[in-house]
Chains A and B, each alone.
Chain A
Amino acid sequence: MNFLQVIFRGLWRRPVRTGLTVLGIAIGIAAVVALVGMASGYEKSVVNQLDTIGIDVVVSNMQGGIMPKAFEETVRDSIASLPGVTAANATLMQMLSVEDAPMMVVYGREWGSFTWEGLKVLDGRLPQNAEEPAVVLGKLAAEVLGKKVGDPLQIEAADFTVVGIVDGSSVLENGAVNLALPRFQEASGYEERANFVNIRVEDGTDVEALCTAIEAQHPGLRAVASGEVVGTSQGFQMARAMSWSTSLLAIIVGVLGVMNTMLMSVFERKHEIGVLLALGWQRARIMALILCESAAMGLLGGIVGVLLGAGVLAVLETTPYVRGFLEPDLGWSLAVRAVVIAMLVGVVSGLYPAWRSSRLSPSLALQG
């Protein structure tokens, strides 16, 4: 018999209670995994999209959170004239409820701009000009909306026809509704306005200097290299903060649950602890036993929680609220972090019960 077996024997003495505590931690950790996985999935989707389209710099008004405030689309012209800029396109992006879909990303793209280039037509075609009341659906968007080429589609109060289904190589592109910028401006009431300018630059351009120049030219707008969009966006920072703070609540609930279980266990095992003290066990060893039991519950809860969280993400991925909008991201890093957090929950929860156990008088404990 080794110390590990002593730990698990301690946990096994009350299997139902241990199981329920582990489940409590697991639910908390599943919440962490699901929330953080969704937030980081959204970040990943955006990064993939920028990579796919080949955007070097994004200009927007970041004050508006995830969906930046709109500005005059003519901003694009002055940016296009800056040295090093090879192309600058205005885009209007909104998250809207489209017909039966509760939330969809809708892009108004400048007709003929490079942002259309990454869309591979699977069925039908792209709009023929900027005036045509036509939409092109990403393949996931078509699936979610249940539309095919030739079907009508209403966006806000305007009527359009689906002219093509495309593969955009990123979940955001595949889940989006695309139409020519003027048509979307009209439909959404944002005439002559956009909320992004996507820029391509010449090789060797000093992107940082370009960004500084754009911001100097247009106070209130922010220009960010595509690789830094996620790190600098207030919206992403807010989403990350919200997911971690909600997770923190789940973790606190987990800590209280384990602490309650371990305290009950210490009270119930007062006699056993007295016997161990009488048999020459050091108080530090008894504290280690309680802490290890607690950490073991955390570890088990963490593993079960990650599996549960992965299951929740898999289910969420199929729901209309998420499908085509973001790609939940459960990487090894998140899984390992979640398990480490769960173990820490176990250790922190066990500290007070362990301290209580170390204060027991052996003669009194032996009396029960």
Chain B
Amino acid sequence: MPPSDTPSGELLYEAAGLTKEYDGGNVPALRGVDLRIRRGEFVAIVGPSGCGKTTLLNMLGLLDRPTAGTLRFRGRDLTALGDPASYRARDIGFIFQSFHLLPNFTIEENVQIPMFGLPGAPAARRARAVELLASVGLSHRLDHLPVKLSGGERQRAAIARSLANRPSILLADEPTGNLDSKNSAHVMELLQRLRVEHDVTLVMVTHDRDLAAHASRLVEIRDGCVVSDGLTS
């Protein structure tokens, strides 16, 4: 029985025949991917550059729409959602390789940005941002602009931001791709710790096999297809 079928956790994602094509079908990115992800899992999606890892992650976060196939989240058909903003705001936390912090806002403000879509007073937003930044060790950097921070610090701030709305899933796209080995190790440790503390499911795209070894499950993609799916040793 594949790990995605482990009946221990609630079924979060269920993708069937997920396909994505660009340029009117001339450039296939995903070819009929079937995937199930359960609550509490730490899934690493690996594969060479251009194999469709990020495309799959974008589908899960509804940053892009599939060309064919179905994608369900907690039983709800995501492809039928009109505006996925609420889904992204409430259920998903994104972590990007390039951090994608807004340059004109301080770190603390950056963490507040996702909270604008949800109810809450400015003071509550600020308190939550301060709390999250403290949990990633950036209490002393609250008023700094991203440009004043090191790469590792920026990614820690981005991780804090991803947790702002208490999501159930973190989607991380090469979270250590722009970091040196020391910072990579710190960020991985942090992700592991926060995953447990905040009880979130982590789906991480990486091409780094060592990093993928931190995950509980490894999904390998080649040429837009899942070629292996199993527990890590």
Structural contact, B100 and A366, CB atoms closer than 8 A: yes
When distances are taken between beta carbons in the complex, the residues of chain A under 8 Å from B105 are: 1, 9
Contact with A along B54-97 (1 / 0, CB 8 A): 00001001011000000000000000000101111110101010
A→B interface (CB under 8 Å): 1-3, 6, 9-10, 12-13, 271-272, 275-283, 285, 361-363, 366
When distances are taken between beta carbons in the complex, the residues of chain A under 8 Å from B64 are: 361-363
- The distance in angstroms between the C-alpha atoms of A355 and B176, with both chains bound, is 35
Structural contact, A278 and B100, CB atoms closer than 8 A: yes
When distances are taken between beta carbons in the complex, the residues of chain A under 8 Å from B88 are: 277-280
Structural contact, A1 and B122, CB atoms closer than 8 A: yes
- The distance in angstroms between the C-alpha atoms of A366 and B58, with both chains bound, is 11
Structural contact, B58 and A363, CB atoms closer than 8 A: yes
Q: Which of B85, B100, B109, B126 has the most CB atoms of chain A within a 10 A radius of its CB?
A: B85
Q: Which of A278, A279, A282, A285 has the most CB atoms of chain B within a 10 A radius of its CB?
A: A279
Query: A271 — nearest CB in chain B belongs to which residue?
Result: B100
Residue B19 CB within 8 A of the other chain: no
How would you classify the secondary structure of chain B's contact residues: helix, strand, loop or mixed? Answer: helix
- The distance in angstroms between the C-alpha atoms of A2 and B58, with both chains bound, is 29
Structural contact, B100 and A285, CB atoms closer than 8 A: no
Q: Which of A1, A276, A361, A366 has the most CB atoms of chain B within a 10 A radius of its CB?
A: A1
Structural contact, A276 and B83, CB atoms closer than 8 A: no
When distances are taken between beta carbons in the complex, the residues of chain B under 8 Å from A277 are: 63, 85, 88
Structural contact, A1 and B117, CB atoms closer than 8 A: no
Interchain Cβ contacts under 8 Å between A and B, 18 examples: A1-B125, A9-B104, A271-B100, A275-B100, A277-B63, A279-B89, A279-B113, A279-B117, A279-B161, A280-B114, A280-B117, A282-B85, A361-B63, A361-B64, A362-B64, A363-B58, A363-B63, A366-B63
Of the candidates B86, B94, B104, B109, the one whose C-beta lies within 8 Å of that of A279 is B94
Structural contact, A1 and B63, CB atoms closer than 8 A: no
When distances are taken between beta carbons in the complex, the residues of chain A under 8 Å from B86 are: 280, 282
When distances are taken between beta carbons in the complex, the residues of chain B under 8 Å from A285 are: 85, 116-117
Residue B165 CB within 8 A of the other chain: yes
- The distance in angstroms between the C-alpha atoms of A40 and B63, with both chains bound, is 56
When distances are taken between beta carbons in the complex, the residues of chain A under 8 Å from B94 are: 278-279
Query: A14 — nearest CB in chain B belongs to which residue?
Result: B104
